[in-house]
Amino acid sequence: MTDAQAQLIAKAEQKLGAKALITDPKEVEPWVTDWRGRVHGAAPAMLAPASTDEVVEIVRLAAEHRVPLVPQGGNTGMAAGATPPADGSALLLSMRRMNRIRSISADNRLAVAEAGVVLATLHEAAHEAGMRFPLTLGARGSCTIGGLTSTNAGGTQVLKFGTMRSLVAGVEAVLPDGSVHNGLSGLKKDNRGYSLDQLLIGAEGTLGVITAVALRLVPAVAARAVAWAGVKSPLQALELLRFLEERTNNIEGFELVPQDSLDLVLRHIPNTRAPLSGGHSWHVLVEATTAGAATDIAAEVEQLLACALQQGLIGDAVIAANEAQAEALWKIRDSISEAERAEGQTLAHDISVAVPDMPAFIVDAAAKVERAFPGVIASGFGHLGDGNIHFHVRAGNHAAPGWYEREGAEITRMVDDLVTAAGGSISAEHGIGQLKISELERLAPPGRIQALRAIKQALDPLGIMNPGKLVRI
Amino acid sequence: MTDAQAQLIAKAEQKLGAKALITDPKEVEPWVTDWRGRVHGAAPAMLAPASTDEVVEIVRLAAEHRVPLVPQGGNTGMAAGATPPADGSALLLSMRRMNRIRSISADNRLAVAEAGVVLATLHEAAHEAGMRFPLTLGARGSCTIGGLTSTNAGGTQVLKFGTMRSLVAGVEAVLPDGSVHNGLSGLKKDNRGYSLDQLLIGAEGTLGVITAVALRLVPAVAARAVAWAGVKSPLQALELLRFLEERTNNIEGFELVPQDSLDLVLRHIPNTRAPLSGGHSWHVLVEATTAGAATDIAAEVEQLLACALQQGLIGDAVIAANEAQAEALWKIRDSISEAERAEGQTLAHDISVAVPDMPAFIVDAAAKVERAFPGVIASGFGHLGDGNIHFHVRAGNHAAPGWYEREGAEITRMVDDLVTAAGGSISAEHGIGQLKISELERLAPPGRIQALRAIKQALDPLGIMNPGKLVRI
């Protein structure tokens, strides 16, 4: 521990009490490695404020002593954006004690949740208020509102409701100078200069610490229908989506699953079974919901899929007859990453291209990667309707210690080059963090990197807010 | 003209040709005064680029010669944000020659329009493609996409579709260093660092010149119903909105009109007549639309209003029987400002508070202003469902030369204080420009002003992009 860190910690203990300070290495240890277990950091202590005022105190101390802070929520990020540097130079700033839902209003369709509120907790609170917070993803039981906002998270319902950027009505944050930005007013229209709310969304804690977020709610789901269909190709899957969207506004989930991913799930995940009897090269999971009682959503989906079958758009389909069957279909989709890990080394790429370009991209990129690295297995699954695919490459017969670092890095560069050439993004919904920072610097236009650096330097001149993430000065 | 300006102009003529340069004072003159005719500026020349490359040339020359640029679209702004300074130190940068719609796709629900495309032109192009760009406002025949984006414009359909911030999928802009930010890829998910798109939306040309915008389209309107209802109070108007929104998703316009404003329109605007026969203290204009043929929208609105009448939520109502009648109702709403100008001196305040607080705010603030300045007439009209009211104060028997500058400034400070105390915004949809910059500096938290200045300084260190607007360094 440096002298500066020791001084900061002593003052923080004096001002905030022992509760706000965790120095026992055993208690700190679970939080210094990223969720995927790939990046190992170190931190001599973790600060755990319980209020915005306490965050202000901590940020002021960090500025005074020039000690960097690494804000962290549920530590479920995919780009190691909340993992401290390995040299122990930074302190962890855990937001999990700020876990109050400050208000929830069905009339205003707004909830104000502190940064440390777990997503599943917000889901429950919205449900109890007769409303719904529609964003959801696999880590819902651990990930926090602050982390979701700081990474502009997406998930499986983006098709209808957008990413966090669409669902955040305002942000409260402590800026690096210790001032509090309060964007929680719930104003629908506010044109008083540059949007600090929008700047903080997706900034990965590098411009300030998000302490609370005003979130848009939507009417509760009255009923949902979940279906599984077999298709010939990603292109046919997209045609099915267009077909459905032309006929109903109720589609909110549309996930692409290759047969290969389904096979892995069936092999490694207990209590799973193939939804369809025949063989299909590709599959889609369709979710439709309705907020009103007037629509028989299951009948609507059944009729649409019957029509799609008749037109040859799908090879077969099944509709969940009850919630347990619906959950079983979602379990297949949500278990793909876990099944891949059980199978062996897998390289993950969270990428996007324009929606109409995605079917060809998946097929072409997989073929190119498999040709360049014979023996690896490449495929894409996920949010086809958002143009966002998790393009994963399994080591196959290349599996070996150090594969990630050596050949994996080469494969990633190839994928990122292909994505960039297609006008896409090397980070669709996971952010840049530590893991993608070099690739961002390599591939982004120099003017963009220059602008990001200028903004970072302007708002955090001392470099105390999550340095080394997203943008390097 | 300064030497630096003369040098810039000579080089611009050489590089871009005579078409891109307007120096005849008679041709420049109409563009140096703001739309309301209140702020008079001066500019020795107007630059009129025809392409993004030409904007790059101009911005580079401006940086080289340290000559500020004032970007301008249709010159319909309400805060004099596109009016050059009176000392002639800046050059006008007219974007009107960049008026191409680069692409329009019903499949992707996207249009890419250059900055100088007039809103009404985009409306027509979207209509021809079987789609719709839903944002609209009174100045639609003159205002441009670049100006709408730079001011994060709102208008009358925000209730359902949001402001420009919700409808812009990406921005192309020339940054102050001459680099081009290209956000037109149409990616639905892209988490590669701070959102420059969002930073440029509402930046009023102070961080760069927006050259083109990717805009979200929605399905074309199959049918609309426009109705007019008389209510007792703004609170009852809001109750009516809640009543309607609980029963249908089709409401997209909900405008509040006080009897006083209606009287002014009937007095000063030819070919207008009162929609309802009886007297009502307040009125609302309701617009509902449907994109599908399945809904009989007129019948739906008629039934809902009949039910509201029965429950005592409204005093009376009429539904337009055809498009001509619908246009006649909208004409009343859209003519209020013009009628006020015909009546005499009027002070305009574009303000917002949280939606549930607005009914009480309108009534209280009007009473307070009329008590403090006996003889003036205060009232609010407009976008009740957005919490955004145009709170106008007519001089009444105070009318006199210089009233705006003297008593008007006092009244504005009082209104802005009341709005700020209510947690609202002194600029809901018009921006800050020149007219509100002192009030913003007076009322915003110092940390916010400091952050805005830091961002401006970081991205435009030479101060060439619309200096003196929105934020003063």
Nearest to A355, CA basis, from A256, A213, A285? A256
Looking at residue B340, what is its pLDDT?
A: 94
Q: A462 to each of A52, A60, A469, B53, how far by Cα in Å? A: 21, 11, 15, 37
Quote the crossing angle between the two packed helices B358-372 and B409-421, to the nearest 10°. Answer: 150
The verdict on a CB contact (< 8 Å) between B388 and A432 is no
pLDDT over 80 at B295, yes or no:
no
Where do the DSSP E strands lie in B291-325? Answer: 316-319
Angle at B146 between CA B143 and CA B150, to 5 degrees: 105
In chain B, residues with a C-beta closer than 8 Å to the C-beta of A457 are: 458
Report the amino acid identity of residue B300.
E
The answer for B470, left when phi > 0, alpha when psi is -120 to 50, beta otherwise, is left
A with B: how many residue pairs have Cβ under 8 Å apart?
A: 219
Neighbouring-strand partners of residue A173: A181, A210
The verdict on a CB contact (< 8 Å) between B187 and A446 is no
In chain A, residues with a C-beta closer than 8 Å to the C-beta of B429 are: 189, 191
Average pLDDT on B5-22 reads 96
Distance CA A100, CA A98 (A): 6
Looking at residue B214, what is its pLDDT?
A: 98
pLDDT over 90 at A294, yes or no:
no
- Tell me which chain A residue has its CA closest to the CA of residue B384: A188
Report the run of H or E that residue B257 belongs to, with start and end: strand B251-258
The verdict on a CB contact (< 8 Å) between B454 and A458 is yes
The verdict on a CB contact (< 8 Å) between A383 and B189 is yes
Here the tokens at position B118 are 């007039």
Q: What is the pLDDT of residues A37-69, one digit of tens each?
A: 889 999 999 999 999 999 999 999 999 999 999
* pLDDT more than 70, % of chain B: 100
* pLDDT more than 90, % of chain B: 93
Question: Residue B38: which pLDDT band, with cuts at 50, 70 and 90?
Answer: confident
CA distance to partner chain B, nearest, from residue A23 (Å): 32
- What is chain A's percent helix, strand, coil content, to nearest 5? 40, 20, 40
CA distance to partner chain B, nearest, from residue A425 (Å): 6
Nearest CB neighbour to B447, from listed A175, A352, A470? A175
Distance CA A209, CA A228 (A): 41
Looking at residue A379, what is its pLDDT?
A: 94
CA distance to partner chain A, nearest, from residue B47 (Å): 24
Question: Residue A320: which pLDDT band, with cuts at 50, 70 and 90?
Answer: very high
* pLDDT more than 90, % of chain A: 93
CA distance to partner chain A, nearest, from residue B153 (Å): 9
Distance CA A239, CA A261 (A): 21
Question: Residue B331: which pLDDT band, with cuts at 50, 70 and 90?
Answer: very high
The verdict on a CB contact (< 8 Å) between A194 and B450 is no
Question: Residue B249: which pLDDT band, with cuts at 50, 70 and 90?
Answer: confident
- Cβ atoms within 10 Å of A172's Cβ, excluding its own: 24
Looking at residue A6, what is its pLDDT?
A: 97
Average pLDDT on B213-241 reads 96
Phi/psi of residue B344, nearest 5 degrees = 155, -165
Distance CA A67, CA A4 (A): 7
- Tell me which chain A residue has its CA closest to the CA of residue B79: A191
Nearest CB neighbour to A189, from listed B154, B452, B457? B154
CA distance to partner chain A, nearest, from residue B194 (Å): 6
- Tell me which chain A residue has its CA closest to the CA of residue B239: A107
pLDDT over 80 at A282, yes or no:
yes
Distance CA A467, CA A449 (A): 15
Phi/psi of residue A91, nearest 5 degrees = -105, 145
Looking at residue A246, what is its pLDDT?
A: 84
CA distance to partner chain A, nearest, from residue B121 (Å): 25
Question: Residue A249: which pLDDT band, with cuts at 50, 70 and 90?
Answer: confident
The verdict on a CB contact (< 8 Å) between B440 and A179 is no
Nearest CB neighbour to B198, from listed A107, A195, A386? A195
pLDDT over 90 at A107, yes or no:
no
Nearest CB neighbour to B388, from listed A158, A189, A425? A189
Question: Residue A295: which pLDDT band, with cuts at 50, 70 and 90?
Answer: confident
Where do the DSSP E strands lie in B118-199? Answer: 131-132, 168-174, 180-182
Residue B144 per-residue DSSP state: B
- Tell me which chain B residue has its CA closest to the CA of residue A438: B192
Residue A291 per-residue DSSP state: S
Nearest to B154, CA basis, from B473, B429, B466, B452? B429
Per the CB < 8 A criterion, the answer to whether A173 and A200 are in contact is yes
Q: What is the pLDDT of residues B109-120, one digit of tens each?
A: 999 999 999 999
The verdict on a CB contact (< 8 Å) between A189 and B448 is no
The verdict on a CB contact (< 8 Å) between A355 and B383 is no
- Tell me which chain A residue has its CA closest to the CA of residue B423: A185
In the block, residue with structure tokens 């690896």: A376
Looking at residue B284, what is its pLDDT?
A: 98
Report the run of H or E that residue B235 belongs to, with start and end: helix B234-247
DSSP string, A5-74: HHHHHHHHHHHH-GGGEE--HHHHGGGSB-TTS--B---S-EE--SSHHHHHHHHHHHHHHT--EEEESS
Burial class (CB in 10 A: 0-12, 13-18, 19+), A99: middle
Distance CA A465, CA A60 (A): 12
In chain A, residues with a C-beta closer than 8 Å to the C-beta of B457 are: 458
Neighbouring-strand partners of residue B286: B227, B254
The verdict on a CB contact (< 8 Å) between B177 and A108 is no
- Tell me which chain A residue has its CA closest to the CA of residue B164: A189
Q: What is the pLDDT of residues A322-349, one digit of tens each?
A: 999 999 999 999 999 999 999 999 999 9
Q: What is the pLDDT of residues A173-202, one digit of tens each?
A: 999 999 999 999 889 999 999 999 999 999
The verdict on a CB contact (< 8 Å) between B355 and A108 is yes
- Tell me which chain A residue has its CA closest to the CA of residue B387: A188
Q: What is the pLDDT of residues B136-191, one digit of tens each?
A: 998 999 999 999 999 999 998 999 999 999 999 999 999 999 999 999 988 999 99
Neighbouring-strand partners of residue B92: B46, B70
Nearest to A455, CA basis, from A434, A445, A470? A470
Q: What is the pLDDT of residues B273-289, one digit of tens each?
A: 999 998 899 999 999 99
In chain A, residues with a C-beta closer than 8 Å to the C-beta of B177 are: 447, 450
Looking at residue A271, what is its pLDDT?
A: 95
Best of A78, A105, A194, A472 to disrupt the B interface (most B CBs within 10 Å) is A194
Looking at residue A279, what is its pLDDT?
A: 85
- Write down the mean pLDDT value for chain B: 96
In chain A, residues with a C-beta closer than 8 Å to the C-beta of B426 are: 192
Q: What is the pLDDT of residues B387-430, one digit of tens each?
A: 999 999 999 999 999 999 999 999 999 999 999 999 999 999 99
What pTM does this model have?
Answer: 0.96
Pairing type for strands B101-105 and B110-114 reads antiparallel
The verdict on a CB contact (< 8 Å) between B191 and A432 is yes
Phi/psi of residue A63, nearest 5 degrees = -65, -45
Best of B55, B105, B194 to disrupt the A interface (most A CBs within 10 Å) is B194
Residue A165 per-residue DSSP state: H
DSSP string, A310-370: HTTS-SEEEE-SSHHHHHHHHHHHHTHHHHHHHHS-EEEEEEE--GGGHHHHHHHHHHHHH
Per the CB < 8 A criterion, the answer to whether A250 and A289 are in contact is yes
Report the run of H or E that residue B437 belongs to, with start and end: helix B437-443
CA distance to partner chain A, nearest, from residue B470 (Å): 6
- What is chain B's percent helix, strand, coil content, to nearest 5? 40, 20, 40
Nearest CB neighbour to B189, from listed A182, A428, A451? A428
Neighbouring-strand partners of residue A394: A346, A377
Average pLDDT on A392-416 reads 95
Looking at residue B279, what is its pLDDT?
A: 85
In this predicted complex, what is the ipTM? 0.95
CA distance to partner chain A, nearest, from residue B428 (Å): 4
The answer for A377, left when phi > 0, alpha when psi is -120 to 50, beta otherwise, is beta
CA distance to partner chain B, nearest, from residue A336 (Å): 21
In chain A, residues with a C-beta closer than 8 Å to the C-beta of B220 are: none
Contacts of residue A408, defined as CB under 8 A and 6 or more positions apart, other chains included, come to A345, A347, A393, A395
Nearest to B48, CA basis, from B83, B98, B7? B98
Contacts of residue B397, defined as CB under 8 A and 6 or more positions apart, other chains included, come to B375
DSSP SS3 for A441: helix
